[in-house]
């Protein structure tokens, strides 16, 4: 299929997409449009975000829809409010010349009454998030017993976000005669279960090699200590003055912490996480789309629905556990013919993950050195020179001031004027990077078993936990690094529980830990650190890793209420969120 004219779509749709600039169908559109136009067979399409999926299912279904019937004929489910709105907006643009077909989007965070009124006025197309769709089904406002098409967009993310039961409920409420179209970036077991239980002999389309990353994206990694991840982000940003990117973190607490640090250091940055109200979330996303924000810190789930084609960088503050998630992250840059860079900030314990991802995506990462202070300053200086050289000069507006300006600088030589001009823009960054330390570390060779057995850790109890505002795993690492005499002390597991926590440190620094934490406060709380009774654990690592249980602590408790006794292994029966 060379162009959309060959698809056989009705003229009203062709006129609309021509105005939108559609010329040649994307690979996913070339595969799905003829299928949906010609058959009612179910479809599973595996394709990454940004490949034109909305047009791939939207155009052929809108071609077949019955404008005379005001009942819901097409239901599109998406994981987030933002993606829901995005799909509905795109569908309305396709329908510019089909005025009898109406689209209603239903999602949380907006008044349900107005959505109910819109549905009752008649809508052939419903685009919804699972939660609000269930709500409207329960109110009997929506009835899907006779719909012809059901589209599950970003199906893997709907499952990741906990919508499995909602999807089952919605799927069960729809007609057995419907055509089901499932679009997903990945094909985990749960997606296969949906296909097995709710779809009939579906055709599966895989776009290219399923796990291969875009050829327009370069993959770099920096090898640093875990405690230097944030400083590495700053150097990447400073080295690239025109950076426009997303920083991916594991948790919303970590995203919030990184964004707050960036803001305090003067960067145009903000976070996207689950604690934001819908209004706050919309504000952050609009500022980012408008490039008022240059850096957005987000978790994978929070970034869903954010579709931006001009991103220069994706930065992995932590590598994801799932290699397919890395493919999805890196695919957010290098779009629409643009080139992009995916950066991974890793410590020695992550090097094997880099190798795993390389095998998965069929591409090599290039190890780069974190730029030093001189390199950053040079890059910023040349960026400034380029901006000055290429700035548009408004002769008419500055002409009235030129005589006074010239007189002001009459005593300065050309060289002195340049020095003064550069210093105005440059003194702060020069001062910051003066004597900047080298963040790069050597890749550690795998130790043999005897080395691991000889590496021992002491486990400590600390009377701080999730209940202490601002205390988290990153804060614990910072407290260790900031208060011990040597910053590169090897750290073992860290378990953050509700009212207290545990951490492990190289046993050679056992007394240093007890001394360093003996006179510390965290906010208004006096910090109490005690050595856990029992054998030391062998076989540690530098930095932090996921997994593991909290471990018990038994002994006399000197603060926090209740005297001595035994602390529960995982803190009030809760799972530990991380260890180290």
- DSSP letter (8 states) at residue 428: H
Measured distance CA(218)–CA(150) in Å, rounded = 37
Measured distance CA(131)–CA(163) in Å, rounded = 8
pLDDT of amino acid 323: 80
Boundary of a domain, candidates 161, 178, 206? 206
Residues 139 and 15 in one domain: yes
Measured distance CA(179)–CA(43) in Å, rounded = 8
Task: Scan for tokens 């408004």, then name that residue.
Answer: 394
CATH number at residue 226: 3.40.50.300
Decide if 138 is inside a domain.
yes
CA–CA distances in Å: residue 310 to residues 246, 314, 359, 457: 11, 11, 27, 46
Is residue 52 left, alpha or beta, with left meaning phi > 0 and alpha meaning psi from -120 to 50? Answer: left
Decide if 576 is inside a domain.
no
- DSSP, collapsed to helix, strand or coil, labels residue 238 as helix
Boundary of a domain, candidates 327, 356, 372? 372
Range 467-474, long-range pairs (CB < 8 A, 24+ positions): 467/498, 467/499, 468/522, 468/523, 468/525, 469/523, 470/523, 471/496, 471/501, 471/522, 472/253, 472/254, 472/257, 472/496, 473/254, 473/544, 473/577, 473/578, 473/580, 474/254, 474/257
Closest CA to 65 of 37, 86, 88: 37
Boundary of a domain, candidates 372, 394, 421? 372
Residues 6+ apart with CB under 8 A from 385: none
Residues 381 and 240 in one domain: no
Measured distance CA(383)–CA(389) in Å, rounded = 10
Task: Scan for tokens 């080395």, then name that residue.
Answer: 451
Residues 188 and 254 in one domain: no
Decide if 483 is inside a domain.
yes
pLDDT of amino acid 1: 56
Closest CA to 30 of 10, 56, 54, 5: 56
Residues 132 and 152 in one domain: yes
pLDDT of amino acid 455: 54
Decide if 226 is inside a domain.
yes
Handedness of CA 516, 520, 522, 523 (dihedral sign): negative
Measured distance CA(48)–CA(46) in Å, rounded = 7
Decide if 307 is inside a domain.
yes
Residues 352 and 253 in one domain: yes
Question: Structure tokens of 114?
Answer: 């107005």
Residues 406 and 497 in one domain: no
Residues 6+ apart with CB under 8 A from 289: 306, 308
- DSSP, collapsed to helix, strand or coil, labels residue 495 as strand
CA–CA distances in Å: residue 387 to residues 241, 242, 390: 11, 11, 5
Q: pTM for the complete prediction?
A: 0.54
Instruction: List, as one string, the DSSP characters of 93-153.
Output: HHTTT-TT--EEEE-TTS-HHHHHHHHHT--SEEEE-HHHHHHHHHTTS---TT-SEEEET
- DSSP letter (8 states) at residue 444: P
Residues 232 and 361 in one domain: yes
Residues 37 and 97 in one domain: yes
Task: Residue 116: count other Cβ atoms within 10 Å of its Cβ.
Answer: 16
CA–CA distances in Å: residue 567 to residues 93, 230, 500, 561: 60, 34, 9, 12
Decide if 572 is inside a domain.
no
Measured distance CA(460)–CA(567) in Å, rounded = 13
Q: pLDDT tens digits, the chain, 580 residues: what are they? A: 568 888 889 999 999 999 888 878 888 899 999 999 999 999 999 876 667 889 999 999 999 999 999 889 999 999 888 788 889 999 999 999 998 999 999 998 788 999 999 999 999 999 999 999 999 999 999 988 889 999 999 887 787 777 888 888 898 888 888 999 998 877 777 778 888 888 989 999 887 544 556 778 999 999 999 899 999 999 999 999 889 999 999 888 889 999 999 999 889 999 987 677 777 888 888 899 889 999 999 987 777 667 777 899 999 999 987 787 888 888 888 877 788 999 999 988 888 889 889 988 888 999 999 999 888 888 888 877 777 777 788 888 888 888 888 888 888 888 888 888 777 777 777 778 888 899 998 887 654 444 444 458 899 999 998 888 888 888 888 888 878 766 567 888 888 888 889 999 888 888 888 888 888 888 888 899 998 765 444 444 344 333 333 333 333 333 333 333 333 333 333 333 333 3
Pairing between β-strand 553-555 and β-strand 565-567 as defined by DSSP bridges: antiparallel
Question: Structure tokens of 580?
Answer: 């180290």
- What is the per-residue burial (b if ≥16 Cβ within 10 Å, else e) of 227-237? bbbbbbbebbb
* Domain total of the chain: 4
Measured distance CA(532)–CA(495) in Å, rounded = 13
Residues 130 and 34 in one domain: yes
Closest CA to 302 of 281, 287, 324, 323: 281
CA–CA distances in Å: residue 327 to residues 62, 333, 431, 520: 31, 11, 38, 43
Residues 464 and 319 in one domain: no
Measured distance CA(296)–CA(285) in Å, rounded = 9
Interhelix angle 229-239/252-264, rounded to 10 degrees, is 50
Q: Which domain holds residue 257?
A: 217-372
Measured distance CA(380)–CA(371) in Å, rounded = 12
Decide if 579 is inside a domain.
no
3-state secondary structure labels for all residues of 191-237: HHHHHHHHCCCCEEEECCCCCCCCCCEEEEEEEECHHHHHHHHHHHH
Question: Structure tokens of 197?
Answer: 């239980």
Residues 380 and 529 in one domain: no
Pairing between β-strand 366-367 and β-strand 553-555 as defined by DSSP bridges: unpaired
Residues 326 and 414 in one domain: no
CATH number at residue 496: 3.30.70.330
Decide if 574 is inside a domain.
no
pLDDT of amino acid 3: 81
Closest CA to 149 of 191, 177, 110, 120: 177
């Amino acid at each position: 299929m060379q162009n959309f004219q060959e698809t056989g779509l009705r003229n009203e749709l062709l006129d609309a997409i021509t105005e939108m600039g559609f010329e040649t169908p994307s690979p996913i559109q070339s595969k799905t449009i003829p299928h949906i136009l010609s058959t009612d067979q179910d479809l599973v399409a595996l394709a990454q975000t940004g490949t034109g999926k909305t047009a791939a299912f939207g155009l052929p279904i809108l071609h077949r829809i019955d404008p005379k019937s005001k009942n819901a004929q097409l239901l599109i489910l998406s994981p987030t409010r933002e993606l829901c709105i995005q799909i509905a907006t795109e569908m309305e643009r396709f329908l510019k010349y089909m005025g009898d077909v109406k689209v209603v989007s239903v999602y949380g965070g907006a008044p349900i009454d107005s959505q109910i009124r819109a549905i009752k006025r008649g809508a052939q197309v419903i685009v919804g998030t699972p939660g609000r769709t269930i709500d409207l089904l329960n109110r009997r406002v929506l009835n899907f017993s006779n719909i012809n098409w059901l589209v599950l967009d970003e199906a893997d993310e709907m499952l990741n976000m906990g919508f499995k039961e909602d999807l089952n409920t919605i799927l069960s409420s729809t007609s057995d005669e419907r055509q089901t179209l499932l679009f997903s970036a990945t094909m985990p077991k749960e997606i296969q279960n949906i296909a097995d239980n709710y779809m009939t002999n579906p055709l599966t389309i895989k776009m290219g090699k399923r796990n291969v990353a875009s050829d327009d994206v370069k993959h770099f990694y920096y090898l640093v200590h875990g405690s230097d991840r944030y400083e590495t982000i700053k150097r990447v940003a400073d080295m690239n003055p025109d950076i426009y990117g997303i920083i991916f973190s594991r948790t919303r607490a970590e995203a919030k912490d990184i964004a707050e640090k960036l803001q305090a250091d003067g960067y145009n940055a903000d976070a996207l996480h689950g604690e934001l109200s819908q209004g706050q979330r919309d504000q952050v996303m609009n500022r980012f789309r408008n490039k008022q924000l240059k850096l957005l810190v987000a978790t994978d789930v929070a970034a869903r629905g954010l579709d931006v084609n001009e991103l220069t960088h994706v930065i992995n503050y932590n590598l994801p556990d799932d290699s397919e998630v890395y493919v999805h992250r890196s695919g957010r840059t290098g779009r629409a013919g643009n080139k992009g860079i995916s950066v991974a900030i890793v410590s020695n314990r992550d090097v094997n993950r880099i190798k795993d991802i390389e095998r998965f995506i069929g591409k090599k990462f290039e190890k780069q050195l974190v730029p030093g202070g001189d390199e950053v300053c040079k890059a910023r200086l040349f960026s400034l020179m380029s901006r000055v050289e290429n700035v548009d000069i408004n002769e008419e507006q500055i002409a009235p001031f030129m005589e006074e300006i010239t007189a002001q600088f009459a005593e300065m030589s050309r060289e002195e004027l340049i020095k003064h001009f550069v210093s105005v823009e440059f003194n702060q960054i020069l001062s910051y990077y003066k004597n900047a330390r080298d963040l790069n570390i050597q890749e550690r060779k795998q130790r043999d078993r005897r080395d691991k057995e000889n590496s021992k850790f002491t486990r400590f109890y600390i009377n701080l936990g999730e209940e202490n505002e601002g205390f988290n795993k990153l804060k614990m690492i910072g407290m260790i690094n900031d208060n011990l005499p040597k910053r590169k002390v090897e750290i073992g597991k860290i378990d953050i529980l509700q009212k207290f926590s545990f951490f492990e440190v190289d046993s050679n620094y056992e007394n240093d830990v007890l001394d360093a934490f003996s006179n510390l406060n965290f906010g208004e709380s006096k910090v109490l650190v005690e050595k856990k009774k029992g054998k030391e654990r062998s076989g540690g690592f530098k930095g932090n890793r996921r997994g593991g249980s909290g471990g018990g602590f038994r002994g006399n408790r000197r603060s926090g209420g209740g005297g001595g006794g035994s602390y529960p292994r995982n803190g009030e029966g809760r799972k530990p969120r991380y260890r180290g």
